[in-house]
């Protein structure tokens, strides 16, 4: 599936209110698999502006944001288990990197 096809299919699901369905979540993962880095960055910036995820817990030395599962769960009004499952689904095809980083491999600088 091309990136355009992924976006069109997601928009059809969104129009039906099904963006949070397993298929919608899979399409988000497919989008991040196919999209160039500049588009991924823009999408994450827009999602942040729209309040779709909490503020980062901290950043590593390279500026990469890290999030805590309990912060994600609280922000979305779901359980920690549901947040963890959603993160797993979003990163299912990306074992080397999660869409939302939960635990860093490097020291992070906390935000206060």
**Per-range mean pLDDT, top range of 8-12, 26-30, 73-77, 106-110:** 8-12
Mean predicted confidence (pLDDT) in 18-31: 84
Mean model confidence pLDDT for the chain:
79
- HSE-CB at 9 with a 13 A cutoff on CA atoms is 16
Mean predicted confidence (pLDDT) in 5-34: 88
Give ∠ CA 4-65-23 in degrees, rounded to 5: 35
Convert the pLDDT of each residue in 85-107 to its tens digit: 877 776 665 554 544 555 556 67
Model confidence at 64: pLDDT above 80: no
- HSE-CB at 81 with a 13 A cutoff on CA atoms is 0
What is the enclosing helix (H) or strand (E) of 22?
Answer: helix 22-34
How distant, in Å, are the alpha carbons of 35, 43, 57, 78, 91 from that of 2? 10, 17, 34, 32, 19
* pLDDT for res 65: 76
């Amino acid at each position: 599936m091309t990136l355009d096809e992924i976006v069109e299919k997601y928009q059809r699901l969104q129009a039906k209110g099904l963006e949070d369905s397993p298929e919608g979540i899979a399409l988000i993962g497919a989008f991040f698999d196919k999209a160039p880095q500049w588009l991924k960055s823009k999408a994450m910036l827009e999602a942040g502006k729209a309040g779709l995820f909490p503020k980062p817990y901290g950043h590593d030395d390279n500026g990469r944001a890290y999030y805590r599962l309990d912060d994600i769960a609280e922000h979305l009004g779901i359980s920690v288990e549901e947040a963890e499952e959603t993160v797993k689904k979003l990163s299912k095809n990306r074992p080397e990197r999660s869409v939302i980083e939960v635990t860093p491999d490097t020291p992070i600088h906390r935000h206060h």
